[in-house]
Chains A and B, each alone.
Chain A
Amino acid sequence: GENVEQHPSTLSVQEGDSAVIKCTYSDSASNYFPWYKQELGKRPQLIIDIRSNVGEKKDQRIAVTLNKTAKHFSLHITETQPEDSAVYFCADHGSSNTGKLIFGQGTTLQVKP
């Protein structure tokens, strides 16, 4: 079945630095790749997503890039702030047409003031 690998599992950066989280997927039919942010004890919240017809998408300090040939996609956070500290999950649909998501294992991002 579909598999999503995410790394690193933990990431610590200084405030103001950039952070990059990478994911690889196995199903070449995948066409939708969301990123979720989950703060401790809270619900996962969608922060950005990308569809397979584009290679990059930006929203203020957050960007996602997609390489369909290599089957990997990455989250880039610039000018990190302490409030960016959370667990980040990548996900994809695989070949499912139901919308069910296959999640990566998560990256714990710590931004040090």
Chain B
Amino acid sequence: GAGVSQSPRYKVAKRGQDVALRCDPISGHVSLFWYQQALGQGPEFLTYFQNEAQLDKSGLPSDRFFAERPEGSVSTLKIQRTQQEDSAVYLCASSLVGYEAFFGQGTRLTVV
């Protein structure tokens, strides 16, 4: 497809469970970002990749959050031992030149 694709769209996890969220960026986009959007809030930056290199992970809230982009295309955000405060929409965005970012539809994670 032409846009950023994320899967799954919805995920319900029991507290303590590990989850993996996938992002397929727009083909050829060098930059890839993950954001966390809590209900009623603006997206908050989690981490940034330039190709396969993770250049900024300053927004990851704890060491339970881990992201990778091994071949410089698809990216996975993993959350270990999920907690209720992890419930949010996780948005992926990609860009060609670091300016206009195109967002995916997001994965809504609910931890019960």
Contact = CB atoms under 8 A, between A and B. Distances in A.
Nearest to A44: B103
Interface residues of A, number: 23
Contacts of A101: 33, 35, 43, 45, 101
A49 B40 CA distance: 23
On chain B, which size bracket covers the interface? 20 to 34
Contacts, number: 60
Nearest to A99: B98
B104 A43 contact: yes
Given A42-B105, A43-B106, A106-B40, A100 B45 contact: yes
A102 interface: yes
A73 interface: no
6 contacts: A34-B100, A44-B103, A89-B43, A98-B55, A99-B101, A102-B45
